[in-house]
């Protein structure tokens, strides 16, 4: 079936790097393009790191010099895009105390003291800290003082929205915000007025900045290492929703030295972590500036927080009104300023109450957009919505970003929902024409298991996992559509649809080869290709 003039490369030889400027034809399997204009193809032609052509089995005849790679019945599709991945935070994990699975006071303090004795860094940092709300034991600064009296200690909560500090760290960070205000500065006090060591949301800023202080070269090395580990999951591109000035420097260094293993969309974050003070960053960068390895993406703002007490929910349950959180109002002005300067904006809004405020801000700011600018409002961490909000987001041609791994934190608990609202109404969003993108929010709760898009798509499609079938099956959408949300949907939400996310003529040749696309058949990444070169091959992996 293949033309004799084509050089046929067998499946196992595909691990050899292709020659520069070589034209290559991929055929002999199922090709899912994720492109609505041509959903399935039989042949993909690649040259110079780009997709040169897409077509049926006869296409290869038009490229007689092409070397041919036989997919051997496997499935080729665009590489995954993790559209919300905190690479520039998660890269620190190897230099922090690993508290994954440590919930007792003793286990946490042992891990901290052991790490302190090994590490010669000034700050002793641990992650993820499970506090009382996560089933852990109570812990205060005094407990940390006992095991580490002479160096600053910071335990970072799994959400990143809460920190436990010891006394030295409290002094260094000059903590003085006993009540969470509307810019979300907060520190928790005991009944006698003493700080317990727990600081929340924007109250974390001074301590977090000191704890994360690191030289650019070392930061770059940590990022490079973690980014490389994503290739085995078929991820060749991420969108980092928390790019500080320091992180941007490290990314730019890696890019200048040709060391970026994956493409990065940098979403500019406020001057400090978790703040909305974005204006100075807009002066330095232009939306979309960069190239296919490193680009400036949507601005990231916060409408609420990430923990009980800071997530902005409101609604009726059983005839009673409930509300929580302190909705921030300091995102509204930066949002309209960013849009008037031609930036897309994504807003962290977990709560349904803050989502109303976010929709209103986008509706007003839409009038300020430069002419010809297609506004694409993006709501980050969609948990709960009502029909009115879905209709408003749809009429704004907006996007919703969801993390299937979070289903497991909500749905099995059978948490009641506000009247008129639904938990994770994915099916309704899709039917309303909203672009849903999906992602890991890595490091999630500290474990790399949340990074795998196939696992995420399986949880998403089932609205649950084998251990716990979740409720809301009528909102479930098929596995292949979740894969679309990890590829074309993610590209669109990042403004990258003319660069990646589909197997379409002219886009980057970033793709993966799976054994199967059938969710019942354990879909697995066999190969990952980036810019037309193989960068991961399961068969070459050490057992």
Residue 301: strand pairing partners: 347
Least separation in angstroms between residue 508's CB and Zn ion is: 25
CA 379 to chain CA centroid, nearest Å: 13
Query: For Zn ion, which stretch binds (CB under 5 A), given 50-58, 279-287, 408-416, 437-445?
Result: 437-445
Residue nearest to Zn ion (CB): 441
Residue 148 or 278 having the CB closest to Zn ion: 278
Residue 86 or 115 having the CB closest to Zn ion: 86
Least separation in angstroms between residue 89's CB and Zn ion is: 9
Q: Which own/partner contact pairs does 209-216 have at CB distance under 8 Å and 24+ positions apart?
A: 209/272, 209/273, 210/123, 210/152, 210/169, 210/172, 210/173, 211/123, 211/125, 211/152, 211/154, 211/156, 211/169, 212/89, 212/92, 212/246, 212/273, 213/123, 214/92, 214/246, 216/246, 216/249, 216/250, 216/253
Buried b (16+ CB within 10 A) or exposed e, 234-261: bbbbbbbbbbbebbbebbbbbbeeeebb
Least separation in angstroms between residue 300's CB and Zn ion is: 9
Secondary structure class of 494 (helix, strand, coil): coil
What letter does residue 486 receive in the DSSP assignment? T
CB contact at 8 A, 426 and 460: yes
The closest alpha carbon to 442, from 434, 428, 453, belongs to: 453
Query: For Zn ion, which stretch binds (CB under 5 A), given 41-49, 70-78, 435-443, 459-467?
Result: 435-443
Tell me if 330 contacts Zn ion by CB under 5 A: no
Alpha-carbon span 177 to 292, nearest angstrom: 42
H/E stretch holding 51? strand 50-55
Query: For Zn ion, which stretch binds (CB under 5 A), given 205-213, 263-271, 413-421, 438-446?
Result: 438-446
Least separation in angstroms between residue 507's CB and Zn ion is: 27
Least separation in angstroms between residue 302's CB and Zn ion is: 10
Residue 69 or 335 having the CB closest to Zn ion: 335
Least separation in angstroms between residue 496's CB and Zn ion is: 19
Least separation in angstroms between residue 98's CB and Zn ion is: 20
Secondary structure class of 78 (helix, strand, coil): strand
Residue 204 or 441 having the CB closest to Zn ion: 441
Mode of pairing for the β-strands spanning 75-78 and 24-32: parallel
The closest alpha carbon to 335, from 306, 378, 294, belongs to: 378
Residue 201 or 441 having the CB closest to Zn ion: 441
Least separation in angstroms between residue 32's CB and Zn ion is: 28
Query: For Zn ion, which stretch binds (CB under 5 A), given 74-82, 434-442, 455-463, 522-530?
Result: 434-442
Residue 224 or 441 having the CB closest to Zn ion: 441
Q: What angle do CA 277, 434, 419 make, to 5 degrees?
A: 85
Residue 312 or 523 having the CB closest to Zn ion: 312
Phi/psi region, residue 463 (left: phi>0; alpha: psi -120 to 50; beta: rest), is left
Alpha-carbon span 53 to 66, nearest angstrom: 12
How many residues bind Zn ion (CB under 5 A)? The answer is 1
Residue 248 or 510 having the CB closest to Zn ion: 248
Beta strands in 369-481 (DSSP E): 378-380, 384-386, 399-402, 421-423, 435-438
Residue 275 or 441 having the CB closest to Zn ion: 441
Residue 159 or 356 having the CB closest to Zn ion: 159
Least separation in angstroms between residue 234's CB and Zn ion is: 21
Least separation in angstroms between residue 444's CB and Zn ion is: 9
Pattern of binders to Zn ion over 262-301, x per CB under 5 A? ----------------------------------------
**Tokens coding 204:** 């974390």
Alpha-carbon span 540 to 543, nearest angstrom: 9
Residue 203 or 241 having the CB closest to Zn ion: 241
Query: For Zn ion, which stretch binds (CB under 5 A), given 140-148, 174-182, 401-409, 440-448?
Result: 440-448
Least separation in angstroms between residue 441's CB and Zn ion is: 4
Query: For Zn ion, which stretch binds (CB under 5 A), given 13-21, 137-145, 244-252, 433-441?
Result: 433-441
Residue 248 or 441 having the CB closest to Zn ion: 441
Least separation in angstroms between residue 138's CB and Zn ion is: 27
Tell me if 240 contacts Zn ion by CB under 5 A: no
Residue 60: phi, psi to the nearest 5?
-60, -25
Give how far Cα 272 sits from Cα of 110, 197, 206, 252, 430, Å: 31, 20, 8, 19, 35
Residue 14 or 266 having the CB closest to Zn ion: 266
Query: For Zn ion, which stretch binds (CB under 5 A), given 224-232, 267-275, 337-345, 439-447?
Result: 439-447
The closest alpha carbon to 449, from 279, 229, 256, belongs to: 229
Tell me if 441 contacts Zn ion by CB under 5 A: yes
Cite the DSSP H helix spans in 386-449.
387-395, 404-410, 426-431
Query: For Zn ion, which stretch binds (CB under 5 A), given 201-209, 281-289, 436-444, 475-483?
Result: 436-444
Query: For Zn ion, which stretch binds (CB under 5 A), given 22-30, 120-128, 441-449, 460-468?
Result: 441-449
Alpha-carbon span 482 to 464, nearest angstrom: 14
Least separation in angstroms between residue 241's CB and Zn ion is: 5
Least separation in angstroms between residue 134's CB and Zn ion is: 17
The closest alpha carbon to 79, from 226, 251, 263, 260, belongs to: 263
Buried b (16+ CB within 10 A) or exposed e, 451-466: bbbbbbbbbbbbbbee
Residue 32 or 273 having the CB closest to Zn ion: 273
Enumerate binding residues for Zn ion (CB under 5 A).
Answer: 441
């Amino acid at each position: 079936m293949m033309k004799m003039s084509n050089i046929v490369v067998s499946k196992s030889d595909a691990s050899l790097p292709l020659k520069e400027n070589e034209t290559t034809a991929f055929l002999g399997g199922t090709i899912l393009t994720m492109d609505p204009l041509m959903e399935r193809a039989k042949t993909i032609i690649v040259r110079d790191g780009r997709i040169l052509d897409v077509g049926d089995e006869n296409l290869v005849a038009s490229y007689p010099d092409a070397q041919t790679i036989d997919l051997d019945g496997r499935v080729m599709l665009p590489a995954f895009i993790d559209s919300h991945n905190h690479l520039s935070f998660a890269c620190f994990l190897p230099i922090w105390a690993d508290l994954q699975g440590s919930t007792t006071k003793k286990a946490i303090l042992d891990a901290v003291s052991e790490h302190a004795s090994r590490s010669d860094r000034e700050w002793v940092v641990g992650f993820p800290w499970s506090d009382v709300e996560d089933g852990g034991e109570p812990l205060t600064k005094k407990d940390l003082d006992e095991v580490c009296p002479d160096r600053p200690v910071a335990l970072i909560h799994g959400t990143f929205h809460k920190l436990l500090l010891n006394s030295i760290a409290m002094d260094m960070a000059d903590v003085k915000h006993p009540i969470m205000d509307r810019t979300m500065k907060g520190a928790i006090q005991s009944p006698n007025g003493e700080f317990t060591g727990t600081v929340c949301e924007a109250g974390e800023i001074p301590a977090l900045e000191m704890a994360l202080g690191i030289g650019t070269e070392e930061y770059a090395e940590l990022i490079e290492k973690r980014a490389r580990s994503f290739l085995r999951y078929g991820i060749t591109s991420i969108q980092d929703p928390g790019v500080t000035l320091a992180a941007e420097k490290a990314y730019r260094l890696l890019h200048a030295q040709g060391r970026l293993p994956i493409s990065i969309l940098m979403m500019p974050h406020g001057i400090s972590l978790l703040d909305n003070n974005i204006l100075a960053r807009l002066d330095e960068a232009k939306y979309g500036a960069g190239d296919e390895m490193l680009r400036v993406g949507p601005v990231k703002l916060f409408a609420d927080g990430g923990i009980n007490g800071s997530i902005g929910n409101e609604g009726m349950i059983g005839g009673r009104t409930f509300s929580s959180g302190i909705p921030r109002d300091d995102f509204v002005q930066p949002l309209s300023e960013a849009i008037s300067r031609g930036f897309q904006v994504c807003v962290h809004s977990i709560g349904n109450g803050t989502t109303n405020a976010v929709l209103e801000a986008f509706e007003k700011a839409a009038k300020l957009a430069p002419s010809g600018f297609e506004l694409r409002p993006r709501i980050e961490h969609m948990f709960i919505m009502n029909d009115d909000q879905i209709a408003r987001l749809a009429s704004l041609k907006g996007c919703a970003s969801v993390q299937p791994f979070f289903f497991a934190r909500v749905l099995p608990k059978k948490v009641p929902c506000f009247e008129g609202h639904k938990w994770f109404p994915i099916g309704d969003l899709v039917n309303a024409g909203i672009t849903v993108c999906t992602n890991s929010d890595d490091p999630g709760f500290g474990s790399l298991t949340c990074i795998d898009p196939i696992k995420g798509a399986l949880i998403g499609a089932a609205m649950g996992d084998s251990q716990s079938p979740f409720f809301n099956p009528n909102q479930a959408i098929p596995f292949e559509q979740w894969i679309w949300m990890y590829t074309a949907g993610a590209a669109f939400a990042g403004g990258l649809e003319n660069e990646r996310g589909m197997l379409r003529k002219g886009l980057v040749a970033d793709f993966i080869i799976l054994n199967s696309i059938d969710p019942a058949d354990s879909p697995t990444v066999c190969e990952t290709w980036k810019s037309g070169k193989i960068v991961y091959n399961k068969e070459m992996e050490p057992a």
